[in-house]
Chain A
Amino acid sequence: AQSVSQHNHHVILSEAASLELGCNYSYGGTVNLFWYVQYPGQHLQLLLKYFSGDPLVKGIKGFEAEFIKSKFSFNLRKPSVQWSDTAEYFCAVNALYGNNRLAFGKGNQVVVIP
């Protein structure tokens, strides 16, 4: 079974600070990797995804994530956060050629102080 670990559940930082959220998964095969974001009062939406190719993936709103296969990691980064980045961020994993069953991490609650 796939499992996903996200550390530092609560993150508080100031505007313009850099953000990095860790995501590690346990699955021996090839995976599809996702970061979803849930802004206050809104539904979950896709931030970025990795299926294959360049392990450095660019997403919306200046976010990027790097897939490191040897470390089973897919960390999310943003060089300079804004107040509007306050949200909960979820990492998710899905087995290649599997199904729509995503295994989610427990999320990172990020608060950006203006």
Chain B
Amino acid sequence: KAGVTQTPRYLIKTRGQQVTLSCSPISGHRSVSWYQQTPGQGLQFLFEYFSETQRNKGNFPGRFSGRQFSNSRSEMNVSTLELGDSALYLCASSPLVGLGANNKNEKLFFGSGTQLSVL
């Protein structure tokens, strides 16, 4: 099975621009989560999508948005880029929403990320 695929791998933008990142989950996985990774803050949850619906949202401003398509692929958009948005953006997929006690085998499968640099 192919893993989680994120494109592009690297991206350079300037302040004020907008950017769209793409994530293709593992085949059969319907949940896609997005995380921002920075050296200072570590990994921070952005949002989670399941069946084209946003199920959970982290504490990020409205400039960060996302969507999920019927084939479970997801995109993340950041508008009006700021220098502080420079980070590695990670996408993770899993078969189900939730990691409840009955889902002992469930875990997140991460992609390699998109490294965004804002100049």
Contact pattern, A 5-37, Cβ under 8 Å of B = 1, otherwise 0? 000000000000000000000000000101010
Q: Taking each of A32, A51, A52, A101, which has the highest tally of chain B beta carbons within 10 Å of its own beta carbon? A: A101
Residues of A within 8 A of B99 (CB): 32, 51, 94, 98-100
CB nearest neighbor in B for A45: B110
Q: Which of B55, B92, B113 contacts A99 (CB 8 A)?
A: B55
Q: Residues of B contacting A98 with CB < 8 Å? A: 98-100
Contact residues in A for B97 (Cβ distance below 8 Å): 99-100
The reply on B108 being an interface residue by CB < 8 A is yes
B41 interfacial contact with A, CB 8 Å: yes
Interface contact B45-A103, CB-CB below 8 Å: yes
Q: Is there a chain A Cβ closer than 8 Å to B66's Cβ?
A: no
CB-based contact A100/B98 at 8 Å: yes
**Is A90's CB within 8 Å of the partner chain B?**
yes
Chain B residue nearest in CB terms to A41: B112
Counting chain B CB atoms within 10 Å of each CB, the highest count among A51, A98, A105 belongs to A51
Give B93 Cβ to nearest chain A Cβ, in Å: 9
Total contacts A-B at CB 8 Å:
72
Is B90 at the interface (CB under 8 A from chain A)?
A: yes
Residues of A within 8 A of B (CB-CB), count: 26
Q: Say yes or no: A101-B101 contact (C-beta < 8 A), given A43-B112, A49-B107.
A: no
Give the dominant DSSP class at A's interface. Answer: loop
Question: B48 in the interface, Cβ–Cβ < 8 Å?
Answer: yes
- Among A32, A43, A103, the residue within 8 A (CB) of B110 is A43
Cα distance A101–B101 when bound, in Å?
15
Contact with B along A90-114 (1 / 0, CB 8 A): 1010101111111111110000000
Contacts A44-B110, A100-B48, A100-B92; A90 near B42 (Cβ below 8 A): yes
Q: How far, in whole Å, are A57 and B56 apart by their CA atoms in the complex? A: 29
Tell me the bound Cα distance from A7 to B99 in angstroms.
Answer: 26
